[in-house]
Structure 1
């Protein structure tokens, strides 16, 4: 990525309606996956070292509740800031700790109830707000970069549950439902950002329902689409060094 690109707050590259469609479908798929877990699944470890399935699900619930209500968003942010550490780590800790007493059934019920409101809350964010720079910077590929609120709202807030859905599927053996119409669009956005960040030509071939082909020059690389995305955020085994945030 050039220095000029890195200096500008990163916007969403997705059309607004596409972003909101992806958000709605992803929340629905998370609800379905959580609903299908067996009682013994909730204590299984995940690829996030400090979280078992229950903790990961309560984080996802907390993020959805944050998206659904401005009051809840401000409350969670203040609670995280009061801890005085790295904001995103403190925020996720608050989400998990506050919901630690919920039963699996309560987590599923609350997620199903809040998911439509989370989409509505994200959809209500006006264009002039989405274009604003987020407070602070994010560390990606060894450098600090700025994001717009639109990139957070339209992109990251959907990539995050998608990646955690893959974590939950891997941890529990539950199927991860994948379609070209949903996951393929999300992966395409990730790939295009990866190409921009990579800055060198490659021919990328991703397999599976969310896969496809990108690039016409350079060395050929082939991976499973989900494994490719997992590698970009430090999971999985694919030998990829360039990060893309989720």
Structure 2
């Protein structure tokens, strides 16, 4: 995918989320989501908070990720700070907070030097960072939709999520403390929502993961246990480890 396609997909994803949030009733905003302790307003507050931090990370502003996380002893405290901020606000104010932060961050991403590394986590390329922000929004919107009973339809934009999940295998293994089996390589052969084949990895890979892209994406963002992704097939020991330990987020 081109850089223009990635940022356009991000904008389209956020526009769809905006439409969903506009359709919610006041009671919907207080409904619990699959994330323990978080209601719908907490989910949107988290997205608003991290979009602000993402903007300042791209632009080297005062609230970059490094500067913000340094204020807390635990990463979870940084995450909870965004929710705490939103808990003092009305749903309408939280929606406006997120939407303004989203527009500012997209503008910064469009203007950013595409060759520069973004100091998010261990450091990311512009493509990976932009895709990660799309992935984050897609994953949390799954939680929101589950809470309010408004399931969505997968679009071709999930190709971005599938790609970052495939490229995060090394990080996922490091996070889990797993050493991959020697001499094994992995290819993903995934079927998109409209039947297209999406392939990530070498053609001569020893191991493969095949099946619906939507299931792989949900496993990668840990919204579906691998045991429930019954249409995904792991062929080989490396593939089996990847499905069991997939993690596309920090």
Q: TM-score, normalised by structure 2?
A: 0.70
- In 2, Cα distance between the equivalents of 1:243 and 1:71? 30
Q: 1:22-61, aligned counterparts within 5 Å?
A: 22-61=9-48
- In 1, Cα distance between the equivalents of 2:169 and 2:70? 34
User: Higher relative CO (CA 8 A, sep ≥ 6), structure 1 or 2?
Assistant: 1
Give the Å deviation of 1:110. Answer: 2.8
2:248 matched residue in structure 1? 245
1:15-48: per-residue Cα shift (whole Å, max 9, x none)?
3222211221122122112111222222222222
2:71 matched residue in structure 1? 82
Give the Å deviation of 1:50. Answer: 2.7
Q: 1:228 aligns with which of 207, 216, 220?
A: 216
1:163 matched residue in structure 2? 139
Give the Å deviation of 1:192. Answer: 4.5
Q: 1:100 to 1:229 in 2, by over 3 A?
A: same
CA contact (8 A) 2:131 2:161 kept: no
1:183-202: per-residue Cα shift (whole Å, max 9, x none)?
3x324424643688885456
Give the Å deviation of 1:220. Answer: 6.9
Q: 1:102 to 1:34 in 2, by over 3 A?
A: same
Q: 1:71 to 1:102 in 2, by over 3 A?
A: farther
Q: 1:186 to 1:149 in 2, by over 3 A?
A: closer
Aligned length: 217
Gaps of 5+ in 2: 173-179, 228-242
CA contact (8 A) 1:194 1:242 kept: no
CA contact (8 A) 1:67 1:119 kept: no
Q: TM-score, normalised by structure 1?
A: 0.71
TM-align CA RMSD:
3.4
Gaps of 5+ in 1: 1-13, 138-145
1:43-76: per-residue Cα shift (whole Å, max 9, x none)?
2222221312111111011122333455866277
- In 2, Cα distance between the equivalents of 1:122 and 1:220? 32
